[in-house]
Structure 1
Amino acid sequence: MGKKAELFVQSVKQAGGLMVMAVRYSGKEPDKRTGASREEYALPFEGAWTVVNGGVVKETSHSWDVLTQRYAYDFVILDDEGRSCRPDADPADPASYYCHGLPILAPADGVVVEAGASCPNATIWLDGKVHFGGGDIRGNYVLVEHAHGEFSCLCHLMPGGVSVEVGQEVRRGQQVGLCGSSGCSSEPHLHFHIQQGQSFYTSPGVPVRFAGVAAAPAPNYEAADPRPLPPGAYGDFPPFLTRGLCVELSREGEPSRLPS
């Protein structure tokens, strides 16, 4: 099956899943007030990364109309100039990006229920658009079942970088893969969301309650993302993240809060 045919199949599955969820939830989709994750999750990486897509309101949402990904996040590493790619490197090469090849971690204890590892990196065309690499829009991915029927989905992992198997128990902070740009991707990044069920197509995403996070507005973020942020965009932190925040593990005993 060619790439266009594979993408068509994925699109049909998503459209069908949206119809199923529209009937199942009928306007009662999870929201930040009543449907946030019951589990508290750690950041699925080490070091300081920046949220470039995602939030818990429509204005900042990753994909508001795609219920599985409504509360998803895309993470990259930006330098102080707002660049995700090393300035002296080839931007068409995935290895030129700061986050490429870095460890991706389990955000909580759980069991691996799916692991896809057959996708190549998508070609980086330098036009800022998402392109398709492989037979799954998630690319290489790991799906972990946690408590309370919640599942974490970690996507666009590097070819050959998935380091866990289905049925394997994982602990919070354990490496499950390496950051890449496989599947539907514009450049290397981590897509992360929590879904309320195993099916990527028929399980709604839920707002993710993060714990143990230090956050601050990313310097020169507008260079990476010119979209304006709505007033009070960072008011949902903690426990929720919003695009434009640079986040990392907080020091032991340090509260999760923005610097005053």
Structure 2
Amino acid sequence: MAASIDLAYPFRGRWLTQNSPANRVPSHGTTLFATSYAIDFVPVDEAGRSAPVTLRSFLRPEPPERFGGFGRAVLAPVEGVVVAVHDTEADHAAYRGLPSVAYALTQRRRARAGWIALAGNHVLIESKGNVVALCHLQRGSVLVRPGQALRIGDVLGRCGNSGNSTEPHLHLQVIDGRDVGRARAVPFTLAGSMPRNGDIVDVPE
């Protein structure tokens, strides 16, 4: 197993931790596409909600724009060079309640379709032999290009709902090479530790 690396948080403000490797490995229930140590962060408000909860939330898909974190800035968590960008996938409806059950049944189809279908819009950053992937970005929001050198905190794009995503959030993982289909997962920490599921991470603006 590759040695763990430490990253900065790739955002500012309040975000809810989900699917953390601090709770289980593989964190997403699969080793597919080197996701063993991946983690998800959902932008939330002061009350810890990603969006207001109504009867519609449980019965119908919702537009991603209804979620307050849709469009929040996503930042470079490491110094490095951009090695891949994808920015053309649509931001689809968000699914909570009963719609999320139906959406879950389509997960295998997306996995068979490959990395793009799962990651949606994303940026890959190479740093000291590892590659950091930031996924589910908003279509048309990516500001960086392959070959561009980055510093920690540079804006990469915006939080979206593309790819395998039930609501606007950020998926973060580290792998040991540029070919996601063949790479191995690399464990990592964030600002020296790893938050657990349900933890609210509040990074000052």
- Normalised to the residue count of structure 1, the TM-score between the two structures is 0.65
Amino acid at match of 1:136: A
Amino acid at match of 1:245: D
Percent identity between the aligned chains? 32
**Which of structures 1 and 2 has the bigger CA Rg?**
1
Count of aligned residue pairs for this structure pair: 189
Q: Could you tell me which residue of structure 1 aligns to residue 87 of structure 2?
A: 117
Are the aligned partners of 1:137 and 1:184 in contact in 2 as well (CA < 8 Å)?
yes
**Structure 1 residues 207 and 56, CA, compared in 2 at 3 Å: closer, same or farther?**
farther
Deviation per CA, 1:73-111: give whole Å up to 9, x if none.
1101234554311347x7511011121100000001110
**Structure 1 residues 125 and 87, CA, compared in 2 at 3 Å: closer, same or farther?**
closer
Of residues 155, 159, 164 in structure 2, which corresponds to 1:184? 164
Of residues 120, 132, 138 in structure 2, which corresponds to 1:158? 138
- Aligned-residue offset at 1:167: 0.7
Range 109-118 or range 201-210, more displaced? 201-210
Q: Could you tell me which residue of structure 2 aligns to residue 70 of structure 1?
A: 36
Instruction: Write the distance in 1 (CA, Å) between the matches of 2:33 and 2:64.
Output: 29
Instruction: Write the distance in 2 (CA, Å) between the matches of 1:67 and 1:161.
Output: 24
Amino acid at match of 2:140: G
Deviation per CA, 1:28-52: give whole Å up to 9, x if none.
x45xxxx322xx2100001121112
Instruction: Write the distance in 1 (CA, Å) between the matches of 2:137 and 2:174.
Output: 17
CA RMSD of aligned residues (A): 2.6
Secondary structure (helix, strand or coil) at the match of 1:183 reads coil
Higher relative contact order (CA 8 A, sep 6+): 2
Q: Could you tell me which residue of structure 1 aligns to residue 194 of structure 2?
A: 240
Of residues 50, 58, 61 in structure 1, which corresponds to 2:27? 61
Question: Unaligned regions of 5+ residues in structure 2, if any?
Answer: none
Instruction: Write the distance in 2 (CA, Å) between the matches of 1:57 and 1:188.
Output: 22
**Structure 1 residues 180 and 152, CA, compared in 2 at 3 Å: closer, same or farther?**
same
- Normalised to the residue count of structure 2, the TM-score between the two structures is 0.81
Amino acid at match of 1:107: P
